[in-house]
Chain A
Amino acid sequence: MSAAGTRAARTGARPFATAPVYVVGLALAAVVLVPIVYVALGGFRTNSQIAADPAGLPDPWVSHNYADVITAGTFWRQLGNSMIVAAIATALIVGVSSLACYPLSRMEFRGREAIYTFFTFGLLFPVAVAALPLYLLLHQLGLLESLLGIALPEAAFGIPITIIILRPFMRAVPVELEDAAAMDGCGHFGFFWRILLPLSRPALVTVIILSVITSWNNYILPFLVLTDPGHWTLPLGVANYSTEHSADTAGILAFTTVSMVPALLFFLAAERRIVGGLSGAVKG
């Protein structure tokens, strides 16, 4: 991106007024940042400070709100639950979708396109449409109050997009590699495991990121399925914390800030892949 930018600069397509551009850019940056910074700073204030001057800065800075969040078990338990759900859902999605993509991309058999279409059809169903019947199904299966009960539907709803992203990648792997592997005595699963999967790594990374983010942010399923606070995931925990402790504004702000940290760290660590993966995946 920056390469293209400097090229445009060199060729000097058009002169531009720098100052207004910066003013607009900084104003927008402020709009994005102020809510986040306000919440983070608010966690360093006391409730009486916030009540006296909602727009003020911490004076003096207090750390007990954050200390409470970090030393109490609630946040860590919810973080752990979210990680378990995301890990199970992502492992399932990537596992079953890549297995299915192998015959769908590299074998010829009757009904292949029908099966592919059957999978892509799932894109049209948001989780919300199926949320209530899903609740009843999980009830019948004894999976209410269970993290597996969240992860399994998340995985099912993630299959369509994963197959759609993976299939063209797997299809593009040269046939010669498959022939060579066969000559070396490599069976279908051996080829899939040793050659196809490693070569599909870029697509797998995109798919994993998509799946982790979707699972991490999922609210409606945990909301319906998990009533026991010990099972809550982070989004559910954050939303419920603010209603349960509504008198403790500073506590809410601290809890919310701490819950943002994992997503922000993940974003900073994988920014290029996330942005590239998401925009690339959509843009086509």
Chain B
Amino acid sequence: VSNIDGVTAGRARARPAVRRPRGTWLEIALFLAPAVALYAVFLIVPVVEAVRYSLYAWDGLGPLTDFVRLGNYREAFGDAEFRQAMGHNGILVALSLILQLPLSLGVALLLNRPLRGRSVLRLLFFTPYVLSEAITAVIFLQLLQPDGLVDAALRDVGLGGLVQLWLADTKLVFYTLFVVITWKYIGFAIILFLAGLQGVPSELHEAAAMDGASSWESFRFVTLPLLGPTIRIWAFLAVIGSIQLFDIVWIMTRGGPAGASSTMASYMIDQGVNSYRLGYATAVAVILFGICFVFSLLYQVLVLRRDVAGGTARMAG
């Protein structure tokens, strides 16, 4: 989960910057040193190394000698399997925005009404989000086995004709995974939108109603604009998450069969771990990072800029 800029950013900005010249350089250095050291060794170094490795043809064992310049990148962009994986990430982004957004917004609107048992429902919808990706993947692996619960349930209600090879049909498997991903992550969107809805004053709806607005108009012209910042942050997280998706795909299908459910990250790990092509795999990692980076920058500049109070605005520094 990236770009969380603090609940309190707004509150803090209300104060003037603290004026404190009193720390000596030594003191400042001592306070900063542990974080800088940890961060440099285990984050900066591997990322820089990734860029370096990506320029070599390398199996990860011998010395780095076979310098291929941008050869790994050229190969990746020309590789049908990698392009297929990129396409899957693209489909995932589109499906998340087109299907998950209305669904989660609808449920949030529903739960925002006075409703008996609302807090239980809220708790329930959030539960999948706290289960790990590994557990989610294993649960659905069992459910979706041939003759597993899903198949049996369909047959029991007389819809046996709909039974499919959910995880083995190359045309279907990626959409099966999308359903699993939605199950896992939709609760987060619902909670986020519910928090956003709390910030919409009911007086505005009353005013709109007095002006003769229908409930759709009230939603469209009052609720939706006020939820804008929350929706934009959610969309950012959903897109980044879709681009980086790995765990659920890897555990459920390893990206298969025949690459039919691969993502860029599963392709990368497959190349690195199973084919021992570390140079090439890190080139894929750098591409993956590059896509996230460009998207983050564009999103900051084009979309989030107007949400001045919104968290991520300052993220890119």
User: Which residues does A use to contact B, with CB under 8 Å?
Assistant: 1-2, 4-9, 11, 13-14, 16, 21-22, 24-25, 28-29, 31-36, 38-39, 42, 53-55, 92, 95-97, 99-100, 102-109, 115, 117, 119-126, 128-134, 136-137, 152-153, 155-157, 159, 161, 163-165, 167-169, 171-172, 175, 178, 188, 192, 203, 206, 210, 213-214, 216-217, 219-220, 223-224, 234-236, 238-239, 241-242, 249, 252-253, 256, 259-260, 263-264, 266-267, 271, 274-275, 278-284
B35 near A169 (CB under 8 angstroms)? no
Q: Which residues of B contact A96 (CB under 8 A)?
A: 34-35, 38
B130 at the interface (CB under 8 A from A): yes
Chain A residues contacting B128 (CB-CB under 8 Å) are 32
Q: How large is the interface on B (under 10, 10 to 19, 20 to 34, 35 or more residues)?
A: 35 or more
Q: Report the separation of the CA atoms of residues A260 and B25 in the bound assembly, to the nearest whole angstrom.
A: 48
Whether the Cβ atoms of A54 and B127 lie closer than 8 Å is no
Residue from B15, B131, B206, B237 within 8 A of A263 (CB atoms): B131
B43 touches A122 (CB 8 A): yes
Chain B residue contacts of A42, Cβ below 8 A:
142
CA distance A153 to B286 in the complex (A): 18
Q: How far is the CA of A33 from the CA of B139 in the complex (A)?
A: 12
Contact at B192–A235, with CB atoms within 8 Å?
Answer: no
Contacts of A132 in B (CB 8 A): 50, 53, 60, 268-269, 272, 278, 281-282, 285
Residues of A within 8 A of B296 (CB): 124
Report whether B251 and A239 are in contact in the complex, using a CB–CB cutoff of 8 Å: yes
CB pair B4 A108 closer than 8 Å: no
Q: How far is the CA of A37 from the CA of B207 in the complex (A)?
A: 45
Would you call A282 and B311 a contact (CB within 8 A)?
yes
Secondary structure dominating the interface of A: helix
B34, B152, B265: the one within 8 Å of A95 (CB)? B34
- Please determine whether A188 and B23 come into contact, CB atoms closer than 8 angstroms: yes
Assess whether A103 is in contact with B192, with CB atoms less than 8 Å apart. Answer: no
* Complexed CA–CA distance, A219 and B314 (Å): 30
Contacts of A274 in B (CB 8 A): 130
Between-chain CB contacts (< 8 Å), 17 pairs: A28-B125, A34-B149, A126-B244, A137-B46, A163-B35, A164-B4, A168-B8, A168-B13, A172-B8, A203-B8, A224-B273, A252-B142, A264-B127, A267-B126, A279-B191, A282-B192, A283-B192
